[in-house]
Amino acid sequence: MKYKIDITDSYENFIDFDGWSGVTNYSSLPKIVPRSTTCHMYLENTSIRMDENIWRDQILSVNSKSTINIADDLLILARKAILTIENVRCYDLRVIYKEHDYYHSSGLTFDMKDRFMVFGGDDIEYLHTNIYGGVIFNGKVFLELEEKEILPLMINGDDEVIGGEKGITKINNEKEKELIKKNNLLDIGYFNAIKSSIWDYNFLIKYFSHQNGYWEAIKNYK
């Protein structure tokens, strides 16, 4: 069974891009749908909060027997998921590959009320590659996942449901072995070497206000 969760007003609190759960989060580079302003990112081994009704109800209204019904205070692991961002204005990347930084910018521009979202993780295709990214948009944000890809990770803050530290280490090792087998090489020609001002925190707080769950532009920037 498939779910499409609207996280437009809560994406910052919903997805653990920082890996505080102990499970290494994996992400693809952003992929813009041809002839559109819609962006997809493919996520793997992503820790997701399922402790608030704003998220839980969107799954349970479709499937009352979902795995998330195991507990109210729950953190789940999404083995695979798709993050979709609509009406993208621009995006910026910093990718660390073989201990070198590679920057890419689609061209920084935004208007008041546009939103800013940080994303990233280890690269889904390339070993020892880290993605740090930001996207500015004025549309909806959705996370799509299937029931079969959901695993309980923590209940009431306790990770014994997944086997504790050993279970988390096993998950991380399995994904790393998969990347070693792929042995893919990143095409650094993709990056245009433009480092935009969005990486400057002083710039960020000058132009954006932090709301409960998202950043919103308070000034125009062209």
Question: Tens digit of pLDDT for each residue in 21-57?
Answer: 999 999 999 998 888 899 999 999 999 999 999 999 9
Three-class SS of residue 133? strand
Q: Per-residue confidence at 132, pLDDT binned at 50, 70, 90?
A: very high
Tokens of 127: 């070993």
**How many other C-beta atoms are found inside a 10 Å radius of the C-beta of residue 156?**
11
Q: Are 150 and 164 in contact, with CB atoms under 8 Å apart?
A: no
Three-class SS of residue 204? helix
Summarised one tens digit per residue, pLDDT across range 76-91 is 999 999 999 999 999 9
Summarised one tens digit per residue, pLDDT across range 137-150 is 999 999 999 999 99
Percent of the chain with pLDDT over 90: 85
Q: Are 106 and 184 in contact, with CB atoms under 8 Å apart?
A: no
This prediction's pTM: 0.93
Cα–Cα dist 171/155, whole Å: 18
